[in-house]
Structure 1
Amino acid sequence: MNFRVDDGCLIDESGARLDERHWRWNPKVVADCDDRIEHLPQLAPLDAVQYVYGRPTARRLPIGVIGPNEPTKDMCEAAEKLGRALAKLNVPILCGGRGGVMEAASRGAYEEGGQILGFLRGDDWRDANDYVTFPLATGIGHARNAIIAQSSLALVAVGGQYGTHSEAAFGLNFGKQVFGLCQAPDIDGVQHLETVESAINALVPILLHLR
């Protein structure tokens, strides 16, 4: 599916317009606009995400990135690449705000000028890694895992230990899509993928609220 831009609004092939404040598609209301729409430049799905999430009127819903505090080198590389890719699309990330996979994803996003929300277990925002742009000290310990899962539009698990298992399980329980990279938790409902690129492509319909 390709998209177009009309008067600043993202529109799909049927002429429906995306309301990026409330994230819903409004059906086409002008019946005779098809000829005009056909002559508007097309946007591929990734370009559509980058465009709409870059609009000043858009409410930027974050993607949760979860993973272990002591990851392997492959996990760190994948998390950093994931953070970088999401930032290039103007999509904020939400994570636990500390080290390991969380820090790697934060670093990748930060170096691309992205926004990183860190939901910390403790009550001191200074515990966040150096790349978090919005450190949020919850003071509720591991219960913050449920907040991360609920607050994310979707979740990507890069590897995983017990905390990652709980976040993924919470996400699935809340009806969120959970994707897995690099030996992510083997839980029914987690969709395991091979590459960061495949994870980004899987996130596109969710980011554009196509389902």
Structure 2
Amino acid sequence: MTNLFLSHDRSRLHDGRRSFDPWALAWGPPEGALPEGSEISPEAAVSWLYGEAKGRRVPVGVIGPREASPREIEVAEALGRRLGALGVPVLNGGKTGVMEAISKGCMESGGDVFGFIPDEDWRCANLYVTVPLATGIGPARNVLIARASLALIAIGGEYGTLSEMALGLHFDKPVFALENAPHVDGALSMDGVEEVVAALLPVILHLEK
């Protein structure tokens, strides 16, 4: 893992060689000498990015079934709370089940929740979606979710979730699978919320390559 440093005035993130642009979400050569700073963890860097730095807010997509099991609901809410506390914006289909649970956890932790709902009326979104976007295109909105997300996290699910996972991989997005989500070659199976968050941090910070 790359060592990360935050300048003492908390205005610049760098890795000792490159500086991170929180608006372009990209690493590049520094303008002038790199400032002195303190080493920080990837989690602290993500909190800084979405907080003090006011970085560009590309959402993480969370997908899963409308009719979710109690365990899937529990995991989705827990993941939502973790992402919301970090300031990570979440995108989902805006309806019930896993979508509602991730929305609830994220919103109640202070996070932003975007919902691409299949309906023509934004009022059809669940009550925890903070930015409801009525697409009016039915299940085809799954393509939008896969395309617009920085990464996808699947929690359980069957054929619908499988298709979204495949779309994410087709669009070269990292795809993480939780709670017996469908097996798709290229998706990474995770054991729990903390493992997903740990894998997601370098993606958000563009340290994966």
Taking structure 1 as the reference length, the TM-score comes to: 0.93
Match of 2:6 in 1: 5
- Equivalent residues in 2 for 1:170-189, closer than 5 Å: 170-189=167-186
Ranges in structure 1 where 5+ consecutive residues have no aligned partner: none
Match of 1:134 in 2: 131
What is the aligned length? 205
Deviations 1:18-75 (A, max 9, x none): 11111110124546x5xx63xx222111111111111354111100000001111111
How many angstroms apart in 1 are the aligned matches of 2:120 and 2:53?
32
Is contact 2:94-2:126 (8 Å) kept? yes
Residue 164 of structure 2: SS of its match in structure 1? helix
How many angstroms apart in 2 are the aligned matches of 1:79 and 1:71?
10
1:191 partner letter? L
How many angstroms apart in 1 are the aligned matches of 2:102 and 2:111?
11
Is contact 2:22-2:53 (8 Å) kept? no
- CA RMSD for the aligned pairs? 1.3
Match of 1:165 in 2: 162
Ranges in structure 2 where 5+ consecutive residues have no aligned partner: none
Taking structure 2 as the reference length, the TM-score comes to: 0.94
| Percentage of identical aligned residues | 48
Residue 41 of structure 1: SS of its match in structure 2? strand
How many angstroms apart in 2 are the aligned matches of 1:60 and 1:127?
24
1:20 partner letter? P
Pair 1:55 & 2:33 matched: no
Match of 1:16 in 2: 18
How many angstroms apart in 1 are the aligned matches of 2:44 and 2:50?
10
How many angstroms apart in 2 are the aligned matches of 1:186 and 1:176?
16
